[in-house]
Amino acid sequence: MGAEINQMYSDEQLMAQSAIGDRKCFEMLYDRYSGKIYQYFLRMLWRDHELAEDQTQEIFLKIVHKPQHFDQNRPFKTWIYSVANNMCKNQYRHREVANKARQDMTVTSVESASPISTDFDKKNFKTALDEALQNIDIHKRNAFILRFKHELSIKEIADITETAEGTVKSRIFYTLKELAKMLSEYNPHENHEKSR
């Protein structure tokens, strides 16, 4: 019943209802996006759980306190990710120095990471992927995460990042190339074929 009601309303309708104080609608909206946004922040902000929590809370508090900032001409999904993206940019500015230091450390760790085994290990692959992603340029990483993790279209990503679609495509392309190179040591080829 709850799921049916949840599906009945679009994000935009839920947002409109939330703006006038409808608690249930706001809760539905939160349930739809909180997890995704949290994961987005987690990946974009150096896998810092506390920071990701704070940013997730902040973005929803913004929705609570200033719902009028929602641009009704845009889809809610695109809007919330663009807000999240801007919040990430602010974090990058504030932590530019720390970020550089962190990047250096992760590069070392990735480079030093030797193949654990010829067997494919999903858990290790995931860890390696997360670490490798930290070495990727933030714009490329952003496009890649939005595309692969959040399954947004190229157009939507272009809207969120305020760039041309071609730029988004090329960013994703280069990110894939780099990641494939970094993670090639895990040689997932055979194991992946088996798992399929």
CA distance 48 to 12: 30
Asked whether position 172 contacts another protein by CB under 8 A, the answer is yes
Interface residues for another protein in 135-154 (CB under 8 A)?
Answer: 147-149, 154
Alpha-carbon distance of 153 to 134, in angstroms, equals 23
- Binding flags for another protein, 58-97, as an x/- string (CB under 8 A): --xx--xx--------------------------------
Q: Are 149 and 39 in contact (CB under 8 A)?
A: yes
Neighbours of 142 (CB within 10 A): 26
CA separation for the pair 192, 189 (Å, rounded) = 5
Compute the half-sphere exposure of residue 115: CA atoms within 13 Å on the CB side of its CA: 11
Judged by CB under 8 A, the number of residues near another protein is 41
Q: Which amino acid is at 159?
A: D
Output 100 or 189, the one with its CB closest to another protein.
189
Is there binding between residue 13 and another protein (CB under 8 A)? Answer: no
Which residues contribute to the site for another protein (CB under 8 A)?
A: 18, 21, 23, 26-27, 30, 34-39, 53, 56-57, 60-61, 64-65, 122, 125-126, 129, 147-149, 154, 165-166, 169, 172-173, 176-177, 179-180, 183-184, 188-189, 192
